[in-house]
Amino acid sequence: MDDISPQTIFFSLLLLILASAYFSASETAMLTLNRYRLRHLAKHRHRGAMRASALLENPDRLIGVIMIGNNFVNVLASSLATILAIEMWGESGIVIASLLMTAVLLIFAEMTPKTIGAMYPEAIAFPSSLLLNLLLKLLHPVVWVLNRISKSMVKLLGIAHKNVAVQQLSTEELRTLVDESAHQLPAQRQSMLLNVLDLEKVSVNDIMISRNDVAGIDLDTDIDTIRQSLLNSQHTRLPVYSNGDLNNVIGMLHMRNAAKWMQLDHPNKAELMQLTQEAYFVPEGTALTTQLVNFQKNKRRNALVVDEYGVVIGLITLEDILEEIVGNFTSNLSEETPEIYPQGDGTHVFDGSTSIREVNRALGWRLPTTGPKTLNGLLMEALETIPDTQVGIRLHGCCAEILQTKDNQIKSVRMWPITQSGSDDLNEMQANLYD
């Protein structure tokens, strides 16, 4: 070492510190890469992403070559620093070199490069993958031996070695990812993605048209009544049934076929029945994700929902499911939810058959959706009786006033949030109803 000048040692020391910084930054950058973005870039043939992805397929080998390189340059740097310190300060230089190298390596070869690697993982990982790939090929035997020794030590400690599983996102993790991507996604697209994730939590009886509200054709009525019902219909397909009971459904009639029937010189019910398509039934409780696939598989656009006894309880359409994803196809509140009637005093009047999900979606309320599906069911469950008119109740952050009951059902109800500041008449009504 006497032939080596202090300047050469010092210059070599600087190079070794830079090499240590490179290994530290590369390690952090490679391990903090966004794996999903990395796969996306690799699929699009990005060379740096392809190299990094190949290295990360065997993380134990990657970490092994980085640790070999990093430890080698750190030990060599410490040795050179000790030699240089001894030449400058004698035996006391050992302690000085140890203190100085600890600080220098910690700041310039560990903390700073790792921080930079975490901040700019792609900018560092992609170029450094070239050298890491070369080192892995050159040091493959050493890496293999050290990995085998490491795995053996782990096994002796009683820890089972498992291959690193491919990272997969759960539904809730994917929801969090979409939520955190709000600044990169338009609000409408973000809402659609979240609604798609929610489909598996919603069943057909959550969004179906209840049996009492299903429009159809009763074959027991006269021809003129049937013709008038078809002319006034706003639906593309209608169920055709007999005896005034939807359980006696004969089939589904497409309005295109209905138009052909009405153009006949002497239309009759037998010809109308021949134009119907066999009805499609689905059980209640079917998840919307499943039903969407079933609609596609069976080439159908609507289905009758039946309970466990085979009784028809409602109708579900493909449009209903699509609206759960993209939202209603109209922008006016009264058009979106014709059962909701805003009042001038800030309250809302609802049909008793209004879906609780529609109320929550239209007004931003948080009425429970795990039990009854309509306001009528929710209120009767809370009251535990069929109420008379002018009965009021507080439930789930809202006040409700029963306006009309008929046929053992609540036909209309007025509701408003408890926190809402209304007019003096509204406050007085609240006091009369609930005090």
At the second CATH level, the architecture of 202-326 is Roll (3.10)
Identify the H or E element spanning 358. Answer: helix 356-363
By the 8 A CB rule, do 6 and 74 touch?
no
Domain positions in the chain = 6-156, 202-326, 333-434
3-state SS class at 397: coil
Higher pLDDT, 91 or 123: 123
For the ranges 253-262, 342-351, 422-431, which has the lowest average pLDDT? 422-431
Residue 432 has pLDDT above 80, yes or no: no
Structure tokens at 177: 């990812």
Rounded mean pLDDT of 133-161?
84
**Fold designation for 333-434:** 3.30.465
What is the residue-averaged pLDDT of the chain? 84
Cα gap 63→26, rounded to integer Å? 10
Alpha-helical runs (H) found in 32-120: 35-43, 47-56, 59-89, 93-104, 112-119
By the 8 A CB rule, do 13 and 77 touch?
yes
Q: Is 126 exposed, middle or buried (0-12, 13-18, 19+ CB in 10 A)?
A: buried
Residue 358 has pLDDT above 90, yes or no: no
CA 368 to centroid of chain Cα atoms: 21
Cα gap 124→25, rounded to integer Å? 7
| Whether the model pTM is above 0.95 | no
Q: What is the pLDDT of residue 150?
A: 82
Cα gap 269→275, rounded to integer Å? 10
Which residue carries 């609507």 as its tokens?
A: 302
Q: pLDDT digit string (tens) for 189-222?
A: 888 888 888 888 888 988 888 888 899 999 999 9
Q: pLDDT digit string (tens) for 245-303?
A: 999 999 999 999 999 998 888 888 899 999 999 999 999 989 999 999 999 999 999 99
Burial call 238-267: b when 16+ CB within 10 Å, e when fewer = bbbbbeeebeebbbbbeeebbeebeeeeeb
Residue 360 has pLDDT above 90, yes or no: no
Cα gap 149→153, rounded to integer Å? 6
Q: pLDDT digit string (tens) for 292-329?
A: 999 999 999 999 999 999 999 999 999 889 888 887 65
Q: What is the pLDDT of residue 333?
A: 42
Q: What is the pLDDT of residue 2?
A: 53
By the 8 A CB rule, do 347 and 416 touch?
yes
Cα gap 114→121, rounded to integer Å? 10
